[in-house]
Structure 1
């Protein structure tokens, strides 16, 4: 029940606020002389303003009440003013609500004050500004601001709302003018009224174009490339419904602008009356649909965004993926040809409607045939198999502990077929059965999501000897194994790394880990994000002694460059060895968690000249990894194969300086494989 009340409160408040804003913008645009105040439609419209402003004030109180009940978890608090006041005092949402309510009360006072006075254009400009302020303040409670309270995040949504108000809020004025045209008001008054409608049409066209542009920007932030959620989540279904309603509204608006409005001038009275009645009927439908659109938009604004939605049960046996199939034969040609047909169909329909020629054949039948043909050509090549788990999100983060656990499971269950390094080294004699997949050197991330791999790992792969492990491994163990496969694949990609970073090109996320160090510090690799680069030194003692003296001598210089050094042993250290190291090293030496770190980063050992793809592989006795402050592995030195390398501290320092000059190119790596 409280959800229904909340939806009604949000919808009524937003609708009333938008109408006051849009109507005032419209009146400011069409204002020409004081005699406009004498028109009946103007008087009727202005009488609505105090009521609409009052609904805005009352609707915000309803929003506070229902928000309080939701925030406290006690529905009865929705009817408890003391609880409301507590929320207003103690929470950021309450502070924003108080600002919105204050601005709404100011708006109410302003529209009451405007009643009965001699008005000028600036009165409506001021009223529009006052009506815009509660709308803009409301965007501070949106999903856009919840993710990031910044101008870049909030501005597109605020502009989107204001543009919607310019279009939707002026529709009541449009309807009142049409009702006035049904009366015999004289030719000059008729032409003036038609002029107002044409001005609205021009402004509404520009507003609608910008609404769609800002809508794409806002949706892009809230979907964040998880486009599959548009057909598999409540947010997606609401957005789809909104787009369908908007499409119908656009069709009505197009007909009104290009067909009915031009007929209002130069007609006889009876013909004009019929045209006005026809236009009035369809604009009423447009306004009714707009009210539904605002309702859907308010529900959408309070629905979990697509990018945060977890799809554990994908409803379709297929999905579309350009990246997975684009390199397959003939795919590119079919897709481009299909898009060409679609463009031809749109162009045909546009020409026929614009020139009013060709009848239904050119306007609908031929474009429809082109559209269906384009879909039949372009979509099948982009279709790949999907499973209920295709978009399932991992429940285990991809960290060093999970990677090491997955490596142990791989050795126990998978090495016999896929080989110790995942190369799929054991061929199958039966020609009808596929050989084991090369998990190391073949790319799988485009065609196989982690959910797909989870499905195959759980249920097996038909046509192969790959069994299902759902009855042998727990869900957590299966995710550990998948995390290991991703680390192994990333490790193979890391062969392209060297002692020189590739500028502005972060690709490989550094596996995160927990640690405790000799100096009493402890934490997680993520603790350094957005603050410091990390030079991680995997070493064997005492062979690394000279390198430690070198790093110790340069430590202050490196720290001044916003970079920390973490030393990680690859063999157990005795107390005596640890004392020797700490006597030299002023930087932290990892004493707990070192084994997981070593075993996880072992997969990042390969270089181009030594691919190390057969057998168990070797472990270099000294490796250093440079992770930037955003969490990406940017450079690596394998002392055994890459010579002098970072023993020239000047070369290391130049790489760190280059990292410090870079901004955030892409968000830090996610905690889960994807």
Structure 2
């Protein structure tokens, strides 16, 4: 169905672009253009009639397959849905344009020609409305980018069609007129391509989401191919520009320019075909099952971020990059090598970039950029804690430090001893979550850890990864104190109780800082009064600082000390107990008392053991909260972990 939709969009775009091109080209040289009028009208009418096929295919792609589509259903779809209403608007504009082109057959009018031309550009612009631009969830600037992108791109392609047509049918025209047309068209083409480039970046930012998605998703791979064709188009255009600058004033090779323009048009048609297809498939930023086709990826964290010791492979590749870069500069600036610099300098530069890229490369897998099917929540982490105890403690130990009872007996395929990974160590952060998913699915790097695909389903594996993300933070989380740390530890989301159903999760509190308080209030326990006083002080401090207050209390804690409460307090307590660790203090999954200060972006930045009289924590909390309230809002990405 996607292919059929893309094909119809392609068939719609080509004739309307041709019509606009044939309207535009004669105006550039004040030519009558009468010989093109029947063709313009035919193309515009053909475009308008094809719109009905697009309506049917769009409806068929949305309406369940078991429901037949007849005229009544199409009418209901066209006037009762946002997609249908968008089609009605574009179709009305297409028929207005067709009517104007027919009117031009019977009346010569400069005003009519101008209005028809701009109406045609409008028809080109609204091609995008039947694709992803219909998504009203997109920012306004992105939706406008779609309109400008299609208008500029199709105007350029239509003008190119018109230029080729003119060149191949203008043998009786003087050379200076052909040169004048080519020069004036070149100016418009440059503006159009510049608009295509700028709006394309804006659209890619919204629909691709990341550089890896350019290769890891069908949408991204097609967009990469589209960029390759765009480069080919620009090379053809450059060839024509170079010819225009070097040609004798009184000569113009119409046939040669027409042939190069034809080749450029072929690449342009390929661009249009790809654009029509990616306009109806799932954008890369919405994909979760990503396929990375390369055995490596570029990463600062996994290479230079590990502070490699000299000498090492990373250092040697970097040194090689520097040597080639110096060579490129010397070749370019040394007079004796001037004749060879057009070839040798680019070659040396490419070699320098290659060596630099290798120094930043690390191993990658087909799942490296996969996105999770389970959100990073306390509930997910708590589920995985039980799974970890059932399947992983034998090697990795009860809290993931690589000291399980089987650890001392593990050997690789060569019979050499292998130490299980310490999952609490910072090195876990050098891998993407997709890397970890791949190892859980197919087995670990060393060949000792088996595949867990037959034990854990996909959701269970992503739950495990959420748990491992928490676990890998514990070495650093031991030292979280009242003084705010840099942003690195993402606060797991969890559901909140809200009778009004306005704020239903911790995630929805982002935008201003949050104090997350944990406590176990046991009647008759030692320090009961001090605990109650601390909780009341925390509640008052949160209120005074104007921050959100979320409480996960068990037992008979003071009602006045409570803020927004967790829907599943046991899960929240288990998840946050993983990072509630202190140096030389045994781990426990119960939190007697702890207060985490989460910044407005969702990172855990500070922690208070208690709010006691005279300990200065209240004052320090107020200062930290005020600082965080003025910090910029940062969008969290688990792949950056």
2:519 is equivalent to residue 535 of structure 1: no
Going from structure 1 to structure 2, the CA distance change for 1:25 and 1:611 (only over 3 Å counts) comes to farther
Task: Check whether the contact 2:425–2:473 (CA below 8 A) recurs between aligned residues.
Answer: no
Mapped partners of 2:192, 2:264: distance in 1: 16
Task: Check whether the contact 1:528–1:629 (CA below 8 A) recurs between aligned residues.
Answer: no
Secondary structure at the counterpart of residue 70 of structure 1:
helix
The residue number in structure 2 matching 1:352 is none
2:95 is equivalent to residue 95 of structure 1: no
Give the Å deviation of 1:601: 1.0
User: Within 5 A, what are the aligned runs for 1:56-135?
Assistant: 56-74=47-65, 77=68, 80-115=70-105, 117-120=107-110, 125-135=114-124
Going from structure 1 to structure 2, the CA distance change for 1:428 and 1:380 (only over 3 Å counts) comes to farther
Mapped partners of 1:179, 1:473: distance in 2: 65
Mapped partners of 2:509, 2:182: distance in 1: 56
Mapped partners of 1:314, 1:249: distance in 2: 28
- What per-residue deviation string (whole Å, max 9, x for no partner) do you get for residues 176-201 of structure 1? 33235411x4xxx5323311211212
Mapped partners of 1:305, 1:348: distance in 2: 44
Mapped partners of 1:391, 1:193: distance in 2: 52
Aligned residue pair count? 618
The residue number in structure 2 matching 1:288 is 266
Task: Check whether the contact 1:156–1:214 (CA below 8 A) recurs between aligned residues.
Answer: yes
User: Within 5 A, what are the aligned runs for 1:591-606?
Assistant: 593-606=568-581
2:501 is equivalent to residue 512 of structure 1: no
Secondary structure at the counterpart of residue 202 of structure 1:
helix
Considering only aligned residues, what root-mean-square deviation do their CA atoms show, in Å?
4.1
The residue number in structure 1 matching 2:462 is 479
The residue number in structure 2 matching 1:353 is none
Task: Check whether the contact 2:426–2:475 (CA below 8 A) recurs between aligned residues.
Answer: no
Task: Check whether the contact 1:605–1:638 (CA below 8 A) recurs between aligned residues.
Answer: no
Secondary structure at the counterpart of residue 66 of structure 1:
helix
- What per-residue deviation string (whole Å, max 9, x for no partner) do you get for residues 461-488 of structure 1? 4647545444555554443332211012
Going from structure 1 to structure 2, the CA distance change for 1:637 and 1:643 (only over 3 Å counts) comes to farther
Give the Å deviation of 1:72: 0.5
Mapped partners of 2:60, 2:502: distance in 1: 41
The residue number in structure 2 matching 1:16 is 15
- What per-residue deviation string (whole Å, max 9, x for no partner) do you get for residues 167-223 of structure 1? 21211331233235411x4xxx53233112112123323433443343233223322
Task: Check whether the contact 1:6–1:63 (CA below 8 A) recurs between aligned residues.
Answer: yes
Give the Å deviation of 1:400: 1.4
Going from structure 1 to structure 2, the CA distance change for 1:326 and 1:161 (only over 3 Å counts) comes to farther
TM-score computed with the length of structure 1 as normaliser: 0.78
Secondary structure at the counterpart of residue 607 of structure 2:
strand
Secondary structure at the counterpart of residue 440 of structure 1:
coil
Mapped partners of 2:94, 2:197: distance in 1: 27
Task: Check whether the contact 1:223–1:305 (CA below 8 A) recurs between aligned residues.
Answer: yes
- Listed as ranges, the gaps of 5+ residues in structure 1 are 350-356
The residue number in structure 2 matching 1:321 is 299
Going from structure 1 to structure 2, the CA distance change for 1:221 and 1:203 (only over 3 Å counts) comes to same
Secondary structure at the counterpart of residue 428 of structure 2:
coil
Give the Å deviation of 1:11: 0.8
- What per-residue deviation string (whole Å, max 9, x for no partner) do you get for residues 616-654 of structure 1? 369663222233555443443222899735534xx6556
2:487 is equivalent to residue 488 of structure 1: no
Task: Check whether the contact 2:321–2:353 (CA below 8 A) recurs between aligned residues.
Answer: yes
Mapped partners of 1:499, 1:568: distance in 2: 20
Task: Check whether the contact 1:88–1:98 (CA below 8 A) recurs between aligned residues.
Answer: yes
Give the Å deviation of 1:337: 5.2
Secondary structure at the counterpart of residue 544 of structure 1:
helix
The residue number in structure 1 matching 2:139 is 150
User: Within 5 A, what are the aligned runs for 1:188-337?
Assistant: 189-227=174-212, 229-259=213-243, 262-263=246-247, 265-267=249-251, 275-311=253-289, 314-327=292-305, 328=308, 329=312, 331=314, 334-335=317-318
- Listed as ranges, the gaps of 5+ residues in structure 2 are 333-337, 522-527
Give the Å deviation of 1:91: 1.5
Give the Å deviation of 1:99: 1.8
Give the Å deviation of 1:423: 3.4
2:437 is equivalent to residue 454 of structure 1: yes
Mapped partners of 1:626, 1:325: distance in 2: 32
Mapped partners of 1:301, 1:521: distance in 2: 36
User: Within 5 A, what are the aligned runs for 1:344-383?
Assistant: 366=344, 370=348, 373-374=351-352, 377-383=355-361
Query: Which has the larger displacement, 614-623 or 124-133?
Result: 614-623
Mapped partners of 2:331, 2:66: distance in 1: 57
The residue number in structure 1 matching 2:525 is none
Mapped partners of 2:36, 2:121: distance in 1: 18
Give the Å deviation of 1:376: 5.5
- What per-residue deviation string (whole Å, max 9, x for no partner) do you get for residues 484-521 of structure 1? 1101224544456544657xx7543221223558x898
Mapped partners of 1:20, 1:495: distance in 2: 69
The residue number in structure 2 matching 1:354 is none
Task: Check whether the contact 1:432–1:463 (CA below 8 A) recurs between aligned residues.
Answer: no
